[in-house]
Amino acid sequence: MITPQEASKRNEELCRLAPIIPVLVVEDASKARPLAEALVAGGLPVLEVTLRTDAALDVIREMAKVEGGRVGAGTLLTKADVEAAVAAGATFGVSPGATDTILTACEEAGLPLLPGAATSSEVMRLLERGYTVQKFFPAEANGGAPALKAIGAPLPQVKFCPTGGVSLKNANDYLSLSNTLCAGGSWVAPANLVAAGDWKAIEELAREAASLPVS
């Protein structure tokens, strides 16, 4: 078991390790370990593997072997997703939204969840349950950094990891906000570089992202 308060504390610690959490959609598990090694070497140790591919659980298993990495499972939608992610070695979870089912499943499994919220009401509901660290998703589609800043005015006790449309071009807009701990982005591991096995290029993208300032 894990309480929402403890989950938030542990996820805040993870979010403070680097300004960007790579959001990874990996089709080929054989690419998982060198990809994780490149990202960690570049200064991005916290990795979110989305459960959007058939290989995702194998990818988590491989990435969990990489020294210095902290691997989590994204796109958690069901209790079965949570159980499978934990069995594969995920150390944290991320969901696009938040239902009682997914919150309870993660709490019972002892998996620290970064739950998704898009509106003030959703943020307040999660705060009532004890989640003070949340994912703002989809960030750009929901008004971007100005919207997140506005939410923070009446709810300063909640910190966020905005994800969805975050890029190198707009990352600073989010990271400069007082209620943003880090941001999630996929640009550090583009599909063409992963397919080509260009780990050096990915390491450089990670290093650039890792150097972004956080308020």
In angstroms, the Cα distances linking 198 to 53, 56, 159 are 21, 20, 34
Burial of 125 (0-12, 13-18, 19+ CB in 10 A): middle
Is 135 among the residues known to form the active site?
yes
Is 200 among the residues known to form the active site?
no
In degrees and rounded to multiples of 5, residue 36 shows phi and psi of -60, -40
Cα separation, 42 vs 16, in Å, equals 16
Whether residue 162 is preceded by a cis peptide bond, meaning omega within 30 degrees of 0, is: no
Helices (H) then strands (E): counts for the chain: 10, 9
Catalytic residue among 31, 37, 48, 62: 48
Catalytic residue among 37, 62, 107, 135: 135
Catalytic positions, please? 48, 135
